[in-house]
Amino acid sequence: MSAITVTPCNGPGAEIGNVELAAELSDDDFAVLQQAFADHGLLFFRDQDISPEKHIEFAERWGEINVNRFFTPVEGYPQIALVSKEPEDTTNIGGGWHTDHSYDEIPALGSILVARELPESGGDTMFADMAAAYEALPDDTKEKLDGLEAVHSAKHIFGHQSAYKEDGDLNDRFGNEDAADTLDDVTHPVVITHPLSGKKTLYVNGAFTVGIKGWTPKESAELLMPLYQHAIQDEFVTRFQWKPGSIAFWDNRATWHYALNDYQGQKRTMHRITVEGCVIH
Ligand code: OGA
Ligand code: MN
């Protein structure tokens, strides 16, 4: 038996209580977390005291760690990506609706993000539920999406042509532009059957999806833009306010996220570990 509590949020996600992630988790405890992750695609933990070593250990329980090719690692911990904004930076990482790693043939399962240094206020993260967003679509839209494939790319985000780079801010936060430029674009179904929940889930996003396979840019935009607007309605969204000791663990195949950039002049530092995923279809 496990004493862990799972309290669903108003929007997507569930808050997990009565657990210390840095401690030894029994198989029963872990099974509760696995079920909650499959059900909600998004878990929040509070008041955790977790070292980088324990962060790595917890992540490895879920699968192999995906070492991000583009992010600067935390010093001494190549498995951990540094997601930070300095007081002098004006842009932030993840400051628009997106899901990570959709540009990979086998997209990462998700990430475990630990708050390390927070601004006095602001810096919340919003999450949107792509199964709920799909479910709420009108039937004729669902029919239209059936069988469509979307093309995903990382070049315009992490490559030499990145719009981020023009800003200058993020130059030292990302690297490996050559690798991004030579990555092959990949295709994924617009709607996937989620590998853990079995739910039909919208799997396109405004950051990495560059179009519908075989369609013109105009045709693609006409389909995708209204979908993106639909998906971020309040009823599909949870806004998470970080506190010292907070951790969020999201499923890239079930959710989008958006890091708010409303704390100019202050520092925010997060540690992210990404866990490998599986083939999706
Ligand atoms: C990320 C990201 C959100 C945040 O790490 O992939 O988008 O709130 N971060 O920092
Ligand atoms: Mn992200």
Residue 8 is predicted with a pLDDT of 98
Tell me whether residue 281 is in a domain: no
pTM check: above 0.85: yes
- The string of pLDDT tens digits covering residues 223-259 is 999 999 999 999 999 999 999 999 999 999 999 999 9
**260 part of a folded domain:** yes
* CATH of residue 34: 3.60.130.10
pLDDT band at 180 (very low <50, low <70, confident <90, very high): confident
- Has residue 67 been placed in a domain? yes
Name the strand (E) or helix (H) holding 201.
strand 200-202
Give the residue, by CA position, lying nearest to ligand 1 atom 1: 94
Establish if 60 belongs to a structural domain.
yes
The predicted model gives 144-149 an average pLDDT of: 98
Give one word for 86, left, alpha or beta, with left for phi > 0 and alpha for psi -120 to 50. beta
- Could you give the residue numbers annotated as active site? 98, 100, 257, 272
* pLDDT of 168 strictly over 60: no
- State the distance from the centre of ligand 1 to the C-alpha of 273, rounded, in angstroms: 11
- The closest residue, in CA terms, to atom 7 on ligand 1 is 94
Whole-number Å distance, alpha carbon 117 to ligand 1 midpoint, is 14
Residue 266 counted as domain residue: yes
Residues 129, 252 contacting (CB under 8 angstroms): no
> Which residues line the pocket of ligand 1, CB cutoff 6 A?
83, 93-94, 100, 111, 113, 125, 257, 259, 270, 272
**Nearest by Cα to 130 from 153, 159, 150:** 150
If you take atom 2 of ligand 1, which residue's CA is the nearest one? 94
Domain count, the chain: 1
Q: Please name which of 62, 110, 78, 128 lies closest in space to residue 248, comparing C-alpha atoms.
A: 110
Please state, as a whole number, how many other Cβ atoms lie within 10 Å of the Cβ of residue 245: 13
pLDDT digits (tens, 9 = 90+) for 38-71: 999 999 999 999 999 999 999 999 999 999 888 9
**Both tokens assigned to 64:** 């192999």
Is residue 256, in this structure, part of any structural domain at all? Answer: yes
Q: Tens of pLDDT along 188-205? A: 999 999 999 999 999 999
Q: Is residue 230 part of a domain?
A: yes
Read off the pLDDT of each residue in 155-160 and give the average, rounded to a whole number: 78
- Domain containing 60 equals 5-275
Helices then strands (H, E): number in the chain?
A: 8, 17
pLDDT for the residue numbered 159: 73
- Judged on CB neighbours under 10 Å (0-12, 13-18, 19+), 101 is buried
Q: Cα of 91 to ligand 1 centre, how many Å?
A: 13
Pocket test for ligand 1, best of 91, 99, 125 (most atoms within 8 A of CB): 125
Q: Is residue 140 part of a domain?
A: yes
pLDDT tens figures, 71-82: 999 999 999 999
Q: Give the residue, by CA position, lying nearest to ligand 1 atom 9.
A: 94
* DSSP assignment of 212-279: ETTS-HHHHHHHHHHHHHHHTSGGGEEEEPP-TT-EEEEETTTEEEEE----TTS-EEEEEEEE----
Q: Read off the pLDDT of residues 97-119 as tens digits, 9 standing for 90 and up.
A: 999 999 999 999 999 999 999 99
